Amino acid sequence: MNIKSINTLLVPVPTIRAHKLSCTVMNEQVLVLVHIETNDGLEGWGEATTIGGLSYAEESPHSIKTNIDAYFTPLLLQEQPSNVAEAMKLLNKNIHGNRFAKSAVETALLDIQGKRLGLPISELLGGRVRDRVEVAWTLASGDTETDIAEAKRVINERKHRIFKLKIGSNSVDQDVAHVLEIKKALGEYRVIVDINQAWTELQCLDGISRLQEGGVALIEQPISQRNKAGLKRLTDRFNVAIMADEIVQDPQNAFWLAAEHCADVFAVKINQAGGLTNACLIGKIAALAGVDLYGGTMLEGPIGTIASAHAFSTFPTLAYDTELFGPLLLTDTILKQPLEYKDFGLVIPNKPGLGIEVDKEKVYLLAKESKI
């Protein structure tokens, strides 16, 4: 592969509005970008963006950058693996955890490999079965009327017709009332909720019952990721689909979750899985076990988003579509040509590698000017 350099950049970009989750309120997203160049003139980009620093997971933008700079880069430059698979084997042998960082590095290496072979990343992952993915929009202003107006606007603009509501920061009664009022206003359009582990199992018995009766289509990670048995009990109890998210961390634990049917649906996220190859493996495990799939997001910018889309394009079925709206939440783009969102979905490019052109000068300038 002949790697010349690996640079990790922190690029903060403000969001178009406050984005409220049960664990934090976001007003900007810090993109963690990995830029790899080879001695034969190729370059690749990856992204390891997470949500809300350490309030969401064990990796933060700063820890990702530090670990890539201090451990990943010296190892890869010294060993010079011959291909992507060998590089990931080397990293997994020598570096424990760090799934987000590994995902970014693998994405950049696959971008390079795709460009070298003249193939989109989706073809390196087994081949796509779709050229676009439907994209849900997350309503997370925290205000019911604001969310209803926002949903109706994006429907009229033909941008989105599936809506996820972030709840869990208020009481169960307040959150359920908020969701049901929005569902009533949106009528036929699909509404799903993400509780982000905020409820106890006892609270779920009441809250999910009312959400199910009100026509909500999907309940995402209602209880702690540590309570696998509880998630299975909820899955067995309710007719509304229960989705595992934070608990789905890698192919190994996805296998056990699928084998015990702890959820009806898996949210697959490339960063959470430890890379695109692992994300595709989780998709295969779920399919074999009869578990439906949802293409999740860590609110990545365009690099992580389109990398995710390449992976999800290879899933034989994608029953609950995707949530790849991250770039639309940002006030600025780092690409020379923005991703193509149209007719309620995201178009997946057919060009080699990721199929995008990063504005390299802009990215490096933003990283240099950043005070984080």
Bridge partners (DSSP) of residue 7 are 35
Residues 6 or more apart in contact with residue 235 via CB below 8 angstroms: 242, 261, 262, 263, 264
Which pairing describes strands 218-220 and 241-244: parallel, antiparallel, or unpaired? parallel
Are the beta carbons of 164 and 151 closer than 8 angstroms?
A: no
Output the pLDDT for position 24: 65
Residue entry with tokens 């925290």: 142
Active site residue 157: no
DSSP codes of every residue in 283-301? HHHHHHHT-EEEE--S---
Output the pLDDT for position 51: 82
Write down the domain spans for the chain: 3-120+357-369, 124-347
Output the pLDDT for position 230: 98
Output the pLDDT for position 57: 73
Of 20, 115, 164, 166, catalytic: 166
Residue entry with tokens 């060009």: 351
Output the pLDDT for position 344: 97
Residues 6 or more apart in contact with residue 146 via CB below 8 angstroms: none
Cα(271)–Cα(61) distance, rounded to whole angstroms? 12
| Fold assignment, 3-120+357-369 | Enolase-like; domain 1 (3.30.390)
Domain 124-347 has CATH 3.20.20.30: no
Active site residue 360: no
Q: Tens-digit pLDDT profile for the chain (372 aa)?
A: 899 999 999 999 998 877 666 556 768 899 999 999 999 999 999 999 988 677 667 889 999 999 999 999 999 999 999 999 999 999 999 999 999 999 999 999 999 999 999 999 999 999 999 999 999 999 988 899 999 999 999 999 999 999 999 999 899 999 999 999 999 999 999 999 999 999 999 999 999 999 999 999 999 999 999 999 999 999 999 999 999 999 999 999 999 999 999 999 999 999 999 999 999 999 999 999 999 999 999 999 999 999 999 999 999 999 999 999 999 999 999 999 999 999 999 999 999 999 999 999 999 999 999 877
